[in-house]
Amino acid sequence: MTSRRPIIVWGASGHALVVADILHLRNEFHILGFLDDIDRQHKGKRFCNSTVLGGREQLDLLFSEGVRHFIIGIGDCAARTRLAEIVKQKGFSLETAIHPQAVIASDAVLGAGTVISAGAVISPRVEIGENVIVNTSASVDHECVIANGVHLSPGVRLSGRVTVGCGSWIGIGAIVKENIRIGANSIVGAGAVVLNDIPDNVVAYGSPAQVIRRNQ
């Protein structure tokens, strides 16, 4: 039996719990530890049957010790994208985490660092970029294109041929009609029903969804 490869999860809060559970279920990696830049008091504490090793100051040491595999366990899109770039620049590989109870079409494309949670459904000819979260029971229908750093919250429903731009966050239970484009760095609120395109850098919510303000 091949030994499991060591991996570091960057994050030590809610989404990191989900990522760690998926990694345990897949049994392909051994979680060597977690990083946490937010609460430095976490260093040395137990988390998900492992230990919080510290923050980004640990990266060079981990690389020198032969660690090569990382995954970002942070829900915030901008932070996740930023930390993923740091990890890649340091020479680490970003790994995917796919829950065994997710349904993934055979021709779907998933980028490095992406997390697919329990109950998610990814349909044929879907393209998903790097460091995307398809959260619990979200569904992505045929021919959707999901750019880097997107977070599809639990229960999101994307119809066919939807495009979501880099770094956008679609809130829990939102529904998006077919052939819609959601721009980059935008937020679609919980429970929204999106019937028209959403531009870049805005916050939109409601049924039907309306642009409320710029996303600062």
Domains and CATH numbers, the chain: 5-95 (3.40.50.20), 98-206 (2.160.10.10)
State how far Cα 124 lies from the chain centre. 20
Bridge partners of 31?
A: 7
In this predicted model, what pLDDT tens digit does every residue of 141-177 receive, in sequence order?
999 999 999 999 999 999 999 999 999 999 999 999 9
**How high is the pLDDT of residue 216?**
75
As a whole number of angstroms, the distance between CA 66 and CA 171 comes to: 38
**How high is the pLDDT of residue 38?**
86
In this predicted model, what pLDDT tens digit does every residue of 67-107 receive, in sequence order?
999 999 999 999 999 999 999 999 999 999 999 999 999 99
Classify residue 20 by burial, with Cβ atoms within 10 Å: 0-12, 13-18, 19+. Answer: buried
pLDDT reading at 108 higher than 70 = yes
The pTM score is 0.95
Which one of 24, 30, 42, 142 is the catalytic residue? 142
pLDDT reading at 1 higher than 60 = no
In this predicted model, what pLDDT tens digit does every residue of 13-29 receive, in sequence order?
999 999 999 999 999 99
Total residues belonging to the chain: 216
State the pLDDT confidence band at 190, using cuts at 50, 70 and 90.
Answer: very high
The half-sphere exposure of 139 on its side-chain side, counting CA atoms within 13 A, is: 10
Report the b/e string of 92-118 with b at 16+ CB within 10 A: bebbbbbbeebebeeebebbbbbbbbb
Neighbours of 163 (CB within 10 A): 18
Looking at the chain, the whole-number percentage of residues with pLDDT higher than 70 is 99
Residue 151 annotated in active site: no
